[in-house]
Every structure is written in C-alpha cells, then in structure tokens.
Structure 1
C-alpha cells in the first residue's frame, strides 16, 4: 500500500467497495486517477457527479486494501471514536501512530520536545511536521497520555524500539523506524528488528548474548551519516567478537539528491571516500558508494524491500 495515500481516500475507496457508488470528489488524487486509468472505477452513466465501481474493483480492493483498511480503522477508532473520512493523515502517519502506540512505554521514558520527537519519529516530514498538523499531534499526545511535550530535551535521548518475534532467525539493526512500522512482515519471517539509529547506537551493548548466535544485519540510509553509523556499530560489535553484515539496497535505482527535503547528510568531497573506512565495505558496496558520492545522491532505507535485501522469498 502506498504510504502517501491519505486516510480520506482510503475511506472513500472502502465506501465504494461497500456501496458501489461515491461522490466524484478528489479527481486530482493520484490513486483516483490510477483507478480511472485502469477502468476499475468510472463516472456513473448519465451523472458525472458520482464514481461507480466497475468489474475488477472488488477483487482489486480486497487484494490490496481491505485487510489494511480494517486494521487502520480499528486502530483510529480506538484512540479517536470520531475518526472518519475527514481526517487528512496519510497511511504513513497511521503506521507511525501504531508504532508509537506499540512502543508508548519506551517513548514515555525519554520524552523529548515536539520538534525533536517529530524529527526522529516522523522523519519523513521533518521537525516541524507535528506543529503544522495539530490533529495528528493531538492523537500522538493521546496515545502517550500526556498533555504536552516538554520544553527542553532530556540530556540522554535513547529509545529501545524493538519488534520482537518468538523464534528469531535474523536480527536486523535499523537506522530508521520505517521497517518497524510494518511489524507483521518481520514477524511472519522470523526477523527481529531493533531501532538503533543515531543516538540509539549505545543500546547495542544491551543485546542479549543469546542473540549473537543469530545472523546480524544492519539496514540504513545509504548516505554519509548512515554509513558512518554502520562503521561505528561494526566497531562496537567487533569488541564483542561479532560480525554485522550491511544490507545492500534491493533497488539501487531508488536514488535521491542529497539536498532532498528533510535530508541533512552530505558527502565530503574534500577527502577520499568521504572519510569512510574502505576496509569495512565489499568491492560491490564500495562501487555503489563511489557512484553516490560522485553524483551527490543517496538511497533512502525505506525505499528498499527488507525481505529482498535478506534474500528471503
């Protein structure tokens, strides 16, 4: 499911699935345009004020959206009984709210300012994302059971966000929170996920020795900061006699310019290999990194497929 799909559009699609007909609003929305182009929906005969479902829409919706819609609706109603199609949050926002709810006790241990929290948890929107979306902030505060974020950050910012599973076969350390927002994928394939990005790397010292018998992987943004953190984690684990494997992007064509919105990591062109330690990378990895440095590009962690990177079918 597209993460930028809005709850309003998903709600309308569900109404169309049930009632077979909805007002023809949101004509400029990319998902509505897609449905029209695939002839899954169309204008009601003789009345262009309404969309109707065509043959194939029912199967398409059930295959791609129904289960997720029911999960998201149940969750939104649990925190806001008035949740309806007027909410403008995206599916990505809802997934983030679900992660906050799942990890609320850990998040409450080290409450940060609104901007720090927004920049860390809603990284895709930046530090001002919540203050520009009061409705979304209200839901966050309700989930955390607080009235407001503190005015100052704590001296130590560390969250131990983890997606546990009963019989882990792999342990993946993640720089960002995105993979933790779809925990069912990891659990169904016996993958345990740890958020250890940025200021959370010190949490590695608390990994149980029992888990050192499982293969350890690191998933990150392929930019200067992400790969620098990988080098630091590699050093930390080396002291424990453990090796960590860097996950190679599943699609190396998913590249963005380093001056992308809300992205602050830049390559250092004044020193060789941007100052990274070449011995920590394979020839294949070095080749990709050099391409990214030369073209001032980076690859976002979220754009990759976790199972493909782990070579899990």
Structure 2
C-alpha cells in the first residue's frame, strides 16, 4: 500500500466498497483521478455531484486495500475511539503509531526531544513532522502516557526492537525501522526482524544462539553508512562462527541522488571503494556499489521488497 495515502482517502475508498457514494469533490485527489481514468469509479448517473463504484472496483479494493484498511481501522479505534474519516494521518504515520504502541515501554525509557523522536520514528516526515501535525503529536504523547518530551536528549539511546516470530526460518537485521512497521508481512513468511540502525549493533548479542543457525541477512540503505554497518556486522558474526549476507536490492532498483533532502550519508570519492572493505562484498555487490559511488547515487531500503530480496537467496 502507498505510504503517503491518507486515512481520509482510504476511508473514502472503503465507503465506495460498501456501496456508498462519495462527493465528486474527491476527484481533485490524484488517487480518485486515477480510478476515474481506469473506469473503476464513475459519476453517479444523473447527478455528477457524486462518485460511485464501477463493476470491477470491489475486486480492486479487496486486492489492494481491504486487509490493511481493516487492520488500521481497528488499530486507530483502539487508541482514538472518536477517530473518523476526516483525519489526515498517512499510512506511514499509522505504521509508525503501531510501532510506538508495540514498543512504548522501551521507548519511554529513552525518550528524546520532539525533533529527535520525530526523526527516529517518523523518518518519512523528518524531524519537523510532529511540529507540523499537532494532532498526531498529541496522539503520540497520549500513547506514551507523557505530557511532553525531555528538554534535552539523553546521551545514548540504544533501541532493541524486534519483530518476534515463532520458529523463524530467517533472521533479517534492518538498518531502518520501515520493515519492522509492517510485521504481518514478515511473520507470514517466518522472518524475524531486528533493528540495528544508528550503529546499534550491540543488540545482536541478544540473539539466541539457536537462531544463529538460521540464515542471517542484512537489509539497509545502499549508501556509505548502511554498507559500513554491514562491514561491522560481517566481522561480528564471523567471530561468532557464522555468516551474514547482504540483501541485494529488488527490482526495479530505484536510485536517488545522495544530495537529496534529508539524506545525510555521503560517499568518500577520494578513498578506494569509498573506504569500505571490498573483500567483504561479492562481485555483484561490488559492481553496484561502484556504480553508485561513480554516479553519486544511493538506494533507499524502504523502496525494496523484503520478501523478494530474501527470495533472491532462498525459496520461501
């Protein structure tokens, strides 16, 4: 599901699925413009003030949105009983809220300033996201059971976030929180996820030795910082007598300029292979990294398909 889709839009889509008509003013929204052009929705005959669904709309909605809508609806009502279809939370916001609820006790123990908290848990919006969306900020404070954020950041905040799975078949260590915010997908495929972002590699010492016998993978941004963490992990697991593999980006591979807004990791063009230990990478990985360095590009972890990446090594 598109992360920038708003709850307001999603509830309107569900209303159409239920057989209701919605105001034609929704046509200004790009999502509804697309659905009209595809003839999945149409103007109500005799009254163009409303939109109604077409014959193929239900199949489309069930395939793309129904399960997620039901999950998010149940979740939002559990934390905000008066929630309606008017909220402008995005799907990314809702996933962040779900993650905060599941990990609230640990988060409270190392709570940061509003800006740092927003950067950590609403990375899609950046450090000012909670400044901009006051109702979302108030909801976060309510979930955590605090009146405000500390005036100063603690010197250290080491998170140990895990998507636990009964009898996991694979362990994937993630540089970012994105995949951990969609635990249902990982659990359906018996993939346990660990967060190791921000050089938070100390948490791997908590991994049960039994799980170290499972295939270990690392998912990250393909930029200097993400790949440098991989080099650290490779050495740590080697000392433990096991190996970890780097998940190769899934197709289509989306590459972005390292100078884009909010991206801080830069290559080191004056150093051979940007200062990374080339011996720790396969020839295929080296070719892609060299291309990224030479073109000053990077690959964002969340643009990849987790299951497709793991399937590149093992049939699920």
| TM bucket normalised to smaller | over 0.9
The aligned counterpart of 1:37 is 37
Where do 1:270-309 residues align within 5 Å?
A: 270-309=270-309
Q: Distance in 1 between matches of 2:222 and 2:30?
A: 28
Provide, for residues 7-61 of structure 1, a one-character-per-residue CA deviation record: whole Å limited to 9, x for no partner. Answer: 1100111111113311012323221122111100011223221111111111211
The TM-score normalised by the length of structure 1 is 0.97
SS of residue in 2 equivalent to 1:52: strand
The aligned counterpart of 2:189 is 189
Q: Are positions 1:130 and 2:130 aligned together? A: yes
Q: Distance in 2 between matches of 1:17 and 1:186?
A: 28
Over aligned residue pairs, what C-alpha RMSD do you find? 1.3
Provide, for residues 108-163 of structure 1, a one-character-per-residue CA deviation record: whole Å limited to 9, x for no partner. Answer: 22111111111111112111111111111111111111111111111221111110
The TM-score normalised by the length of structure 2 is 0.96
The aligned counterpart of 1:148 is 148
SS of residue in 2 equivalent to 1:310: helix
Q: Are positions 1:257 and 2:245 aligned together? A: no
Q: Distance in 2 between matches of 1:58 and 1:310?
A: 32
Q: Which runs of 5+ in 1 are unaligned?
A: none
SS of residue in 2 equivalent to 1:217: strand
SS of residue in 1 equivalent to 2:130: coil
Q: Distance in 2 between matches of 1:18 and 1:190?
A: 33
The aligned counterpart of 2:201 is 201
The aligned counterpart of 1:11 is 11
Does the 8 A contact of 2:199 with 2:229 survive in 1? Answer: no
Q: Which moved more, 1:116-125 or 1:234-243?
A: 234-243
Where do 1:1-313 residues align within 5 Å?
A: 1-251=1-251, 253-311=253-311, 312-313=315-316
Q: Distance in 2 between matches of 1:162 and 1:131?
A: 28
Does the 8 A contact of 1:124 with 1:262 survive in 2? Answer: no
Q: Which runs of 5+ in 2 are unaligned?
A: none
The Cα of 1:252 is off from its aligned counterpart by: 5.4
SS of residue in 1 equivalent to 2:194: strand
Q: Distance in 2 between matches of 1:4 and 1:166?
A: 31
